[in-house]
């Protein structure tokens, strides 16, 4: 089925591939009309965010949920009430076989990253340092180090970079020793 313009007349063509003659229907006269939409958006605060009355110009921070042409802003803690989603914090740890000097590793990572800070021994139970305030590198034994971080996109990128750096240092140690 398609619309054809034949001699200034719009015709709807319905070809059914049968042996019957094709049927041509004239298009109906439809008056022109216009639609106007209100482009203003409004979002309601709900649950914990709605407990406090906001002043004009005061900002609110929360999770924007769009559902059936309505917008609602809720606290992240209220997400489980309105959906089957839950939020969790994931702590990640990886242990890497490393037989090089811990000081060499720290020195090399200082050359790569802007922020590498030593941690006090009582806080970390042995030599340790933090990279970009997100990743902790701990000396576990003469043959192992461990990396600890809370999972988020930036910390995951930092940890990936540190792991690659450690593996490259190990390759250099084995090639030159």
pLDDT digits (tens, 9 = 90+) for 77-134: 787 777 776 667 889 999 999 888 888 889 889 998 888 998 886 666 778 999 998 9
CA dihedral 118, 132, 93, 101 (to 10 degrees): -40
> Given its phi and psi angles, is residue 5 left (phi above 0), alpha (psi -120 to 50 degrees) or beta?
beta
pLDDT digits (tens, 9 = 90+) for 20-68: 666 666 666 667 777 777 777 777 888 888 888 878 888 888 888 887 7
pLDDT digits (tens, 9 = 90+) for 153-162: 889 999 999 9
CA distance 117 to 26: 80
Reported as type and span, the H/E element at residue 165 is helix 153-176
Contact 117, 129 (CB under 8 A): yes
């Amino acid at each position: 089925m398609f619309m054809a313009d034949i001699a200034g007349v719009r015709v709807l063509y319905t070809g059914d591939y049968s042996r019957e003659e094709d049927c041509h229907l004239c298009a109906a006269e439809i008056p022109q009309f216009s639609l106007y939409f209100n482009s203003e958006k409004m979002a309601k605060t709900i649950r914990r965010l709605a407990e406090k009355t906001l002043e004009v110009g005061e900002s609110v921070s929360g999770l924007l949920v769009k559902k059936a042409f309505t917008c609602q802003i809720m606290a992240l803690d209220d997400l489980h009430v309105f959906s089957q989603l839950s939020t969790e914090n994931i702590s990640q740890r990886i242990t890497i076989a490393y037989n090089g000097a811990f000081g060499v590793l720290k020195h090399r990572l200082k050359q790569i990253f802007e922020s590498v800070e030593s941690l006090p021994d009582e806080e970390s139970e042995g030599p340790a340092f933090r990279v970009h305030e997100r990743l902790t590198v701990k000396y576990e034994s003469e043959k192992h180090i461990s990396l600890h971080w809370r999972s988020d996109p930036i910390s995951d990128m930092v940890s990936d970079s540190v792991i690659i750096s450690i593996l490259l240092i190990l390759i250099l140690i084995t090639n030159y020793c």
